[in-house]
Amino acid sequence: MNVSRNYLCLLIFIFPLVFAGSVGAQEFRLRAHHVFWKNQEANTEREIDFGRGVSAKILGKYPILRDERKVRYISQIGTGISAQLGRPELRYFFGILDTDEINAFAAPGGYIFVTRGALKLMRNEAQLAGVLAHELAHVDQKHIVRKLKLQSTDRSVTSGIAQVLGGATLTAKIALERLNDLAFKMLMEEGLS
């Protein structure tokens, strides 16, 4: 009886400790999960803001084509493709650049552009879908963001930018402008379009 009483006492004291430890571990996992998703939201907002600046650079070089019917058409195809991707937090924007150059661009945050020259070469919707899927994949896989190492665990907007540009003394506006210039250069010169 002494042995069974010892086991019973041991269980009475150990069970709450084990249970409390598992509750603490669960609480830690929940907090870590919350911090991870909060950080993801901050990174997504940063990516969208960054993409907006890169898009402004693109639109500074190429005028936008003002043909609602064509833009609506590529937007419908692009939206259908983007629905299959793993980035439901993004709202995609599609535009046609009014140039005879043959190219397409994807800016971070969901900004997709196809040139009028590229559209002229396409013979069917499947070719357009292929080009849009390629550009959407750049956004989905965060190619420019990763290449520039824009993501950061720090919550400040300038921290990721400062990491890329090599200094924390830049003001946010100047740093973002330099980063937009760098991303635009990558799109134009390094073939990340």
Output the tens digit of pLDDT for each of the chain's 193 residues: 566 666 555 556 665 665 555 555 555 555 544 444 445 566 888 899 989 998 999 999 999 999 999 999 999 999 999 999 888 899 999 999 999 999 999 999 999 999 999 999 999 999 999 999 999 998 998 887 777 765 444 444 444 444 444 444 445 555 556 666 676 676 666 655 5
In total, the chain counts a number of residues equal to: 193
Q: Residue 168 and residue 166: Cα distance in Å, rounded? A: 7
Place of tokens 């899927």: 133
> Which domains does the chain carry?
50-189 (3.30.2010.10)
Q: Do 192 and 138 meet the contact criterion of CB atoms below 8 Å apart?
A: yes
Q: Residue 45 and residue 49: Cα distance in Å, rounded? A: 6
Q: Residue 151 and residue 109: Cα distance in Å, rounded? A: 13
Q: What are residue 104's DSSP bridge partners?
A: 114
Amino acid 44: pLDDT: 86
Amino acid 25: pLDDT: 53
Nearest to 139 by CA among 65, 48, 40, 64: 48
Q: Do 175 and 158 meet the contact criterion of CB atoms below 8 Å apart?
A: yes
